[in-house]
Amino acid sequence: MCITLDKLQGTDYYITSLAILGEFLGQFPAYDRADAPSLKPLNDLHYEEFRKALEEEPVFNPWFTPAFLEIALKGISLMLKKEILEKWLEPYGNLPVGQGRQKTVGLVMAGNIPLVGFHDVMCVLAAGHNILARTSSRDDRLIRRVAGVLSDIDPELGHRITITDQQLRALDAVIATGSDNSARYFEYYFRNIPHIIRKNRNGVAVLTGRETTDELAGLGEDIFTYFGMGCRNVTKIFVPWEYDLTGLLKVFDRYADLYRHHRYGNNVDYYRTIYLMNQIPILDNGVLLLKEDRSIASPVGVVFYERYSDIDVLRKELEERVDEIQCIVSLHPAIPDAIRPGTTQVPMPWDYADGIDTLMFLKDLH
């Protein structure tokens, strides 16, 4: 299949192709095949295979449950709406770069949540460059299938994507995502080319004590989605000094079914045992452990908390620890650039990881 886009150029060409991909992926959260004229040929080629791949994915990676796969696909399909893509690209002016400026950009992808590397793919293609990607073994299958679908929508874009399991070489630039330990290796290995190296970051929440039950349930989504393994998941909450955490845990009881997932449940049991053996105080509702701790990054199944009495002091602390924080969830008017509870896992294309404008980095390559 090849969608005829001959009359379109530049970003219009890219936006049309990605919007069709978004329509295709948008069918799967509800598994509702929509054979619109722009989708039927694509569905005939890919729908059944993609559906089967989604059903099989939890076998290859048990952390990728059907519910979380659906959330990931829904989030990507929202990013790929035509009006969102237009809003994202409009400030950048002349894109994509001309053929004489095309570079080969290496992508070292993480595998903590489904299709986590797709945003980088979007950015490199929007800039007009070529991709040489090395995927994580934990999230290799779906990104290859998405690339295959895009290739049938638009062979020109598809041909600019190469996925390999070999060491990346002959690169003009690289975007690498990993742990703090792997980041040190990436910094050294790619020191001679332009690069973005991402380290561990997490979401934090600042509560006022006046949140509604629905708002606290939204915070639960920010904590529990993807079992808390994404960089935008909340792993640390700051609460007013007299805040009753038992009430918060009661709201989180609605996520109790996650404990039945054997890997997540084992994590909760393991850390509960460690803390109890060491006589470390915790709060426990069966599906989540709350532990008072100054650290931001917590283990799976655990959320750290810290009490505050002065919001200005807390704001200054958050500013000083910005390199550890991916996003802040809060309704407090004194916390700048905070996002509402329940929205951490639906980022838009302009919500760049680590606050680094990936597309501007790619546009300025020369």
Domain membership of residue 234 (yes or no) is yes
Q: Are residues 170 and 246 in the same domain?
A: no
Nearest to 240 by CA among 307, 290, 304, 318: 307
Q: Are residues 110 and 58 in the same domain?
A: yes
Least confident of 53-57, 146-150, 177-181: 177-181
| Sign of the four-CA dihedral 19, 25, 30, 31 | positive
Q: Are residues 86 and 17 in the same domain?
A: yes
Q: How far apart are alpha carbons 328 and 334 in whole angstroms? A: 12
pLDDT at 4: 42
CB 272 within 8 A of CB 289: yes
pLDDT at 3: 47
CB 317 within 8 A of CB 309: no
Domain membership of residue 284 (yes or no) is yes
CB atoms within 10 A of CB 193: 14
pTM above 0.85, yes or no: yes
What is the per-residue pLDDT across 236-257, written as a single tens digit (0 to 9) for each? Answer: 999 999 999 999 999 999 999 9
pLDDT at 10: 57
Domain range for 54 is 10-199
Average pLDDT over residues 187-191: 93
What is the per-residue pLDDT across 205-218, written as a single tens digit (0 to 9) for each? Answer: 999 999 999 999 99
Q: Are residues 172 and 190 in the same domain?
A: yes
pLDDT at 8: 46
Domain membership of residue 112 (yes or no) is yes
Please tell me the total count of domains within the chain: 2
Q: Are residues 138 and 258 in the same domain?
A: no
What is the per-residue pLDDT across 78-123, written as a single tens digit (0 to 9) for each? Answer: 999 999 999 999 999 888 877 778 999 999 999 999 999 999 999 9
Q: Are residues 236 and 192 in the same domain?
A: no
